[in-house]
Amino acid sequence: MLSLETRWRQLTFQGSEAFHTEQYREAQKKFFQALFVAEEMLLLEDCRGAHLPVVQLFMIACHNLADTYLALGFKIQAFEYYRKAYADLVHLLNSPRADAGLRQQAQECVSKAADEWQQAFNTMDKHILWGWCNQQQSINKPGYSTPYNARH
């Protein structure tokens, strides 16, 4: 059985190969699977044996997905994955259940994630961002139900 880190590496390599040959839907699929594996590693207690910091694997997965969505022309989805990287790291920093090692990794990466989210924000068409902000306000209203397939 493959370790989670080995599985993440395989999926990321496959996604990168697909991305570089402009097979963006295949890249999206592989990068999404790699993100799932990275999130699973963040939840496990035995992930500290990984060769790369687990938080770094998570960040790479989020940014690979964001880049793929940009290549597909889906700016809002790309923006969401930059936001996800930042928001999940902040959550990890504030989680009393996370061990000190994971919190330290998150601390080391959170400013980079914030910078990348800010860069994505600065390059977005303001009309697109306005629509995104309105959507977020609707989601936060009482009575709104999140669609079944929503990840975040």
Three-state SS annotation for the chain: CCCHHHHHHHHHHHHHHHHHCCCHHHHHHHHHHHHHHHHHHHHCHHHHHCCCCHHHHHHHHHHHHHHHHHHHCCHHHHHHHHHHHHHHHHHHHHCCCCCHHHHHHHHHHHHHHHHHHHHHHHHCCHHHHHHHHHHHHHHCCCCCCCCCCCCC
The pLDDT of residue 151? 37
The pLDDT of residue 42? 82
pTM of the model: 0.73
43, with CB counted inside 10 A (0-12, 13-18, 19+), is: exposed
The pLDDT of residue 8? 93
Query: From CA 94, how far away is CA 4, in angstroms rounded?
Result: 25
- C-alpha separations of 82 from 41, 47, 74, 99 in Å: 19, 23, 13, 24
Q: How many CB atoms lie within 10 A of CB 115?
A: 12
The pLDDT of residue 118? 75
The pLDDT of residue 47? 54
The pLDDT of residue 146? 39
- How does pLDDT run along the chain (152 residues), one tens digit per residue? 568 889 999 999 999 999 999 999 999 999 999 999 999 888 775 455 555 678 888 989 999 999 999 999 888 888 889 888 888 888 888 887 777 777 777 777 777 877 787 777 777 665 555 555 555 555 554 444 434 333 33
